[in-house]
Amino acid sequence: MTDPLRTEAVLTDQALIAATEGGLPLSPTPYADIAARLGVSEAAVTDRLRAMLADGRIRRIGAVPNHYRLGYTANGMTVWDVADDRVMELGAAVGQLPFVSHCYLRPRVPGLWSYTLFAMVHGRSRTETDAHAATIRALLGDALRGGEILYSTRVLKKTGIRTAGRQPVKETS
Amino acid sequence: MATVDLSPLEKDLLDITQRDFPLSPRPYATLARRLNVTEEAVLGAFRSLQTQGVVGRIGAVWAQGAVGSSCLAALKVPSARLEAVAATVNAHPEVNHNYERDHPWNLWFVVAARDEPAREAVLDAIAAETGLPLLRLPMEQGHHLDLGFAIDWSAPAAPVPVTVPIPVKEKRP
């Protein structure tokens, strides 16, 4: 039931995000299904997704695994105080490590927080995750001034992004 | 902890599709050709992965900033107040993740709002409602942004002790 007045011109990023944030349908033609829902062509959907991948607004399209269900129960947020003039180069190297899923640079907060490099590390036990942290520590070398692992002990809330007033989607990662 | 028993096809799909889910009209058929199985087998494997809770969804992972404005924040909560403060934080619909962590900064959450002023207003409200020190740690630069990570299929899953000391502790800001 495509409305002829709804053309590709009204495929806004917001509409595409809202239509896909719950995940792609498990049907043989997921992009065509989303396009039909939005009243646009399938090419409009895939072209837009491709463009958003190219410009970095979409990091990736893929399966979002639940690390916990795969046995990766020791998920630590490692935080590091790294010399400012080395942190870009070293942060990129940390991000390349296979057990690091996310790596970010964040600001210091004077008097409260001195760690700037954040790397999420996944292991099947705290022993394994601690060993991964030791690998990062060694990589950071003499640029490192301090670090800690913050293990999550409880998930108190976990919902997907809400952009269009829809029900939150459950995310697992 | 219950562990999952995945088929070789399910493992292959997890390895491939964390990063490279095809943008073709029939993406499951594209994957099927690559793995030399049928499209229906691929769809069935994804259904099974979702039923087992291993994959939450297949879809786009949006970069921060593509959808409004988000910020990681932390509170230092006296343990007696943790439940009440967590409820106060969670009552804000803009809060989409909230974890208790094993650290003096023990409550870590992400606030995502339509723009930066809206985000800061939520953080101001949480600071006022709780009367607690609040860290605001927006992302400055990402490396290896949520690219998934390599799953080691050979290692057995191990149960995790719930309380062990934070093993990496050199200095605390």
Here the CATH number for the domain that contains residue B98 is: 3.30.70.3460
Model pLDDT, residue B18: 81
Greater pLDDT, A73 or A27: A27
B77 and B129 belong to one structural domain = yes
B98 and B129 belong to one structural domain = yes
Does the pLDDT of residue A165 top 90, yes or no? Answer: no
Q: Say if A15 is an interface residue toward chain B (CB within 8 Å).
A: no
B47 and B75 belong to one structural domain = no
Mean pLDDT of B149-160: 54
Structure tokens at B161: 């002790």
Model pLDDT, residue A92: 86
B46 and B87 belong to one structural domain = no
Summarised one tens digit per residue, pLDDT across range B49-107 is 999 989 988 988 877 666 678 899 999 999 999 999 999 999 999 998 899 999 999 99
Q: Say if A96 is an interface residue toward chain B (CB within 8 Å).
A: yes
- The residue of A31, A89, A102 whose CB has the most chain B CBs within 10 angstroms, and thus the best one to mutate to test that interface, is A102
Summarised one tens digit per residue, pLDDT across range A35-58 is 999 999 999 999 999 998 888 888
Between CA B133 and CA A64 the distance in angstroms is: 33
User: How crowded is residue B4: how many other Cβ atoms within 10 Å of its Cβ?
Assistant: 15
Q: Say if B23 is an interface residue toward chain A (CB within 8 Å).
A: yes
Residues of B in contact with A142 (CB under 8 A): none
Mean pLDDT of B123-135: 97
Residues of B in contact with A58 (CB under 8 A): 60-63, 66
Choose among B29, B133, B139: nearest Cβ to A112: B133
Question: Residue B117 is part of which domain span?
Answer: 69-137
| Domain-located, residue B153 | no
Residues 24-83 (B) with a CB less than 8 A from some CB of A: 25-29, 39, 43, 46-47, 49-50, 52-63, 65-68, 72, 74
**Which stretches does DSSP call E strand in chain B?**
55-62, 69-75, 95-101, 107-113, 134-137, 141-143
| Domain-located, residue B106 | yes
Between CA B170 and CA B173 the distance in angstroms is: 10
ipTM of the complex: 0.72
Between CA B3 and CA A69 the distance in angstroms is: 7
Long-range contacts of A6-13 (CB under 8 A, 24+ apart): A6/A38, A6/A39, A6/A40, A7/A40, A8/A40, A8/A41, A8/A44, A10/A39, A10/A40, A11/A38, A11/A40, A11/A44, A11/A45, A11/A48, A13/A48, A13/A52, A13/A57, A13/B66
Q: Which CATH architecture has domain A67-151?
A: 2-Layer Sandwich (3.30)
Extents of the domains making up chain A = 8-54, 67-151
Choose among B46, B98, B112: nearest Cβ to A161: B112
Does the pLDDT of residue A158 top 50, yes or no? Answer: yes
Residue count of chain A, please give it: 173
**Domain total of chain B:** 2
Model pLDDT, residue A55: 84
CB contact under 8 A, B160 and A125: yes
Summarised one tens digit per residue, pLDDT across range A52-107 is 888 888 888 888 888 888 888 888 999 999 999 999 889 889 988 888 888 888 99
Model pLDDT, residue A4: 47
Does the pLDDT of residue B172 top 80, yes or no? Answer: no
Does the pLDDT of residue B36 top 60, yes or no? Answer: yes
Does the pLDDT of residue B33 top 70, yes or no? Answer: yes
Beta strands B95-101; B107-113: pairing state: antiparallel
Model pLDDT, residue A161: 47
Mean pLDDT of B129-153: 74
Residues of A in contact with B73 (CB under 8 A): none
Residues of B in contact with A84 (CB under 8 A): none
